[in-house]
Homo-oligomer: A and B are copies of this chain.
Amino acid sequence: MNVIQILPITNLPIIKENDDIAELICVAAEKQETPIRNGDIIIVTHVLVSRAEGCTVDLDTVRPSNFAQTVARKSGKDPAAIEVVLREAESIIRMRNSSLITLTKHGFICANSGIDKSNVPGERTVALLPQDSDKSARRIRQGIKKQTGKTVAVIVSDTHGRPLRDGEINIAIGVAGLVPLRDRRGEKDLFGYTLKIKRTAIADELASAAELVIGQANEAIPAAIIRGYSYERCEKATAKDMLRPLDKELFL
């Protein structure tokens, strides 16, 4: 019987700009006596990556545009924060009550362009999404290979709200080393029926599974290892495979 384990990576230091996340994860995993193994999947919350890559903004340095000020007045939010949201956006998808859902420059549709206030040091500092989360995932994956010799997959995750359902779930915004969508069309079911439409977003499911240990205990666990899950390897993986093309979207 194949049991899957979700291991928290505890005792990571507070990540600062230019920190080597791969190295710190390897050291922490070693220290807690769960050294990284071949085939492990490492899930890292994006705020960690954003902090290491310097993708943060001090709101006191931001000069809000007229439009940002208008939006801020209507929503009761900080004009500088709105300005940052707009700068990260390619277009605005929904704007109602105090919600601002944008299409980001990276191609994600999310609240406030994915800008995050929590787990960022400094009262007036926010974290942006990493510039290229696939690239960040690849860099961490290569770093782990270099550090330990082990071949792993890496997922950079973010907590997203979603249409139609309340509550946020963790999803994958960057991947390296694994095929994020498992195409099961053509497989047979229990009774020999051939599956016609099944494609499972396993990278999102792995990110959600990781959140069961991430963010517990005062947010002090920003990364996890999933061990024992078989996945299809891929050197050119991208989380963008899970973005539905806008012209095929029924809910826009």
Contacts and interface: CB of A to CB of B under 8 A. Distances in A.
A184 B167 CA distance: 10
Nearest to A110: B164
Contact of A168 (B122, B189, B193, B198): B198
Nearest to A209: B209
Interface string A198-226: 11111011101101110110111000001
Contacts of A198: 118, 159, 168
Given A3-B6, A118-B198, A243 B166 contact: yes
A10 B2 CA distance: 10
Nearest to A201: B167
A59 to B, nearest CB: 13
B250 A94 contact: yes
Contacts of A213: 2, 4
A8 interface: yes
Contacts of A148: none
A28 to B, nearest CB: 11
B1 A3 contact: no
A193 B120 CA distance: 9
A249 interface: yes
A58 B96 CA distance: 45
B212 A169 contact: no
Interface string A211-249: 111011011100000100110000000000111100001
30 contacts: A1-B8, A1-B32, A1-B34, A2-B216, A3-B5, A3-B7, A4-B5, A99-B250, A117-B196, A118-B190, A118-B193, A118-B195, A118-B198, A119-B189, A119-B190, A159-B198, A162-B162, A163-B164, A164-B244, A165-B204, A165-B244, A166-B244, A167-B202, A168-B200, A169-B205, A184-B215, A187-B219, A190-B218, A204-B208, A251-B252
